[in-house]
Structures are given as C-alpha cells and as structure tokens.
Amino acid sequence: MVIEVNQITKRFDAFTALKGLSLQVRPGELVALLGPSGSGKTTLLRIIAGLEFADEGRILFDGADAGERHVGERRVGFVFQHYALFRHMTVLENVAFGLRVVPRERRLSNHDIEKRVHTLLSLVQLDQLSGRYPSQLSGGQRQRVALARALAIEPRVLLLDEPFGALDAKVRKELRRWLRRLHDEMGLTSIFVTHDQEEALELADRVVVMNHGAIEQVGTPEEVYNSPATPFVYEFLGNVNRLDCKIKDGAVGLWGSKIKAETQDGRPVPSGEVAGYAYVRPHDIEFVEGGHALAEPAIVRHVAAAGPTARIELALEGHSNLIEAELPRQRYLELGLKSGQSVMIAARAARVFPATFDGN
C-alpha cells in the first residue's frame, strides 16, 4: 500500500512536534524513521496509525484520505514500544482479540479464529506457549506475541514503535533478522521508529532521518550514510570529525586540497568569507608518506588497536579538538604507528557546510 504523508503539522501546546512534513512510502517497503528523542518520529508514526491527529495536512492510504478514519478502521497493525499486551488474557486470547471484536455478522467462527491464531503463533514460533499469560513470557517472546496480535487483523500496514528498544542486544539482533524475513514473506508495507542507527541501517530499505520535527534526509541506508545531505545527518549517523574552517568564495582549502562548500537546501553558499564546518569520516583519513604536497602534518596522540580496525587519535596544529582516524588492522601494522609520532594525513573525501546552515 502507498502511504502518503502530506504537509503534516502537529503541535502540542507551545511545542511543534512536526513541521509541515511530507513523506511517501511505497508498497512493500520497510522504512525506518530515525532520529534523536524529541525529533517527532513517534508522533509521525502515531498520526499515520490514527492514534493521534494532525493539526494540518493529510494522510493518504492508496490515494484515499485516511485522516477522518478512526484507528480501528484504518487496518494498521501497531506494535507498541512496551508491547501493550493484555495482561489478563492468555497469549492465545491476546492474538485472537482483533478477530473477536469484529461485528458478529463478519466474525469468524470460534474454530476458525483459533485455527488462525495457531497459524500466527507458529509463524512467530510461540505456538507451544499459547496458554501462558504475558507475565510468564520473556521480553522477546512478548514482542513476538505483540507482533502476532497486530498481524491477526491482516493489516495493510505494519507500524512498529521502537520495536526492539527494550530488549537485550542478542535478542534484538535475532528479532531484527526475523522481522525482515517476515516483512518480505508477508509482502507487508512497514514503518518502524528507532533511535538506533545500526538498526535502521541494517533493517530498512529506506531510512528517514528526522530532527526537530522535520525530515533531514530520506534515502537508502547507503545513501544516508555515504552522502549525508546535512550536517545533522553527518553527525547523527556514524562517527565523523568536524573541523572549523573558513569558507572563501564558496570553497575551503583543507589539508592541501580545495573543497567546494555546499548547502543542505541547495541555496548558494554566501560569497565572501564565512565560517564553516568540514566533515571527514574517520575511515576517510589517509596516512601519506612524508613530503607529499596534499597533506597535513599531525601528531599521533593515542592508538586503540584492538579488533579489526585501529582507531588513532591525532592532534592537528591550529585545532584544539583531537580528530579520529580509522585504519584496517593490516594497514596499521604496515605503518607501525605509535603514540607521539609525527605523520602526514590527507582526506579521501570531505564535505563542507557553512556554519549558518548547521542543523543544530
């Protein structure tokens, strides 16, 4: 199903949670809403579900306005952050709930309801626990019951609010893979909210990076990671070094190479001299042999070499903050870097934004 979010604005008293936000989700897509807390991602999810209503703008499901429709009529499967299971019902009754509240003339027979519930429970691998109460289950099991319950009503869209937030790392990883498989097998259109970038990048087809009630960037995990559109996305996704610099006539000389500055919304970079930030990913820092023109002298301050990548902290002349570089273990051994050593570094890739466009 196509979900269209059209110029949605939502205010809570004086606080504006969403600022005229638009988004389109294609059928069969698994989309992640990623952002820090307070960025409006959960509010957006709840508005799509119909648990919250927008002050302005429209939500379209397959082109039809869903705005006036009550949450129960939208046929969305919603999985809550803390599962929201019915504690006085067994697992079986929890999953059957959505089927039992259907008006009598359309309701399945008891026999059919139970059959369907057992099919769903085997799908989430919990059929043997159908007689248990939620309090007798582990966190991961509860989450799967919540998912089975949401799927019971054959939703057109599956919406998940921080689905793995309350689980420990190992269970989280398992459930993540399992959810991806389920999504593909059932041909669902799904949107999930997360503040965990690793989760978003690993699981989603497309990632929507949000900040302060607006979308910073929409793209595949590769796109948002490799070519962040804004300083915020740069800083939010992955590690990055931010260097203060001066932009002169739209460009910056960084470590011997000249980099053109850009703005996040495509407006021209102010002419003359303006303050800016240069962003360099740690793995884009290269160590070059001495005497190279396109390089900058630096001093190694600290080396953390455990694991497949070595992390090296460098002090640059004229910069108070240390910058971080990452090297594959093999390359690190070849260079034989040690604390206190002088090196020459260069940037394989870097981007510059004027400071006035800083998303913070």
Partner 1 sequence: MVASTAIAVPPLGEYPQPRARFRWREPSVLPGFGLTLGFTLTYLSLIVLLPLAALVLKSLELSWDQMWEAATSARALAAYRLSFGAALLAGIVNLFFGVLVAWVLVRYHFPFKRLIDGLVDLPFALPTAVAGIALATLYAPNGWVGSLLDPLGIKVAYTPSGVVIALIFIGLPFVVRTVQPVLQDLNKDVEEAAASLGAGRWQTFRRIIFPSIMPAALTGFALAFARALGEYGSVIFIAGNLPMKSEIAPLLIIIKLEQYDYAGAATIGVTMLIVSFLLLLPINILQRWTRQRAGEN
Binding residues for partner 1 (CB under 8 A): 49-51, 70-73, 76-78, 80-82, 84-89, 97-98, 101-102, 133-136, 138-140, 142, 146, 149-150, 152-153, 166-168
Report how far residue 284's alpha carbon sits from residue 290's, in angstroms, rounded to the nearest whole number: 18
Nearer to partner 1, 74 or 281 (CB): 74
Nearer to partner 1, 28 or 165 (CB): 165
The DSSP annotation for 2-22 comes to -EEEEEEEEEETTEEEEEEEE
Least separation in angstroms between residue 162's CB and partner 1 is: 12
Least separation in angstroms between residue 50's CB and partner 1 is: 8
Residue 132 CA, chain-centre distance (Å), reads 34
Least separation in angstroms between residue 87's CB and partner 1 is: 3
Nearer to partner 1, 152 or 252 (CB): 152
Least separation in angstroms between residue 219's CB and partner 1 is: 29
Please report where in the chains the tokens 């097998």 appear, as a residue.
Answer: 185
Backbone angles phi, psi at 174, to 5 degrees: -60, -50
Least separation in angstroms between residue 76's CB and partner 1 is: 6
Nearer to partner 1, 132 or 242 (CB): 132
Q: In what order do the strands lie in the sheet with 64-65?
A: 15-25, 3-12, 56-61, 64-65
Residues in the chain: 360
Report how far residue 11's alpha carbon sits from residue 31's, in angstroms, rounded to the nearest whole number: 24
Nearer to partner 1, 101 or 275 (CB): 101
Nearer to partner 1, 69 or 242 (CB): 69
Q: Which residues pair with 21 in a beta bridge?
A: 8
Report how far residue 330's alpha carbon sits from residue 297's, in angstroms, rounded to the nearest whole number: 22
Instruction: Decide the pairing of beta strands 309-316 and 273-280.
Output: unpaired
Least separation in angstroms between residue 15's CB and partner 1 is: 19
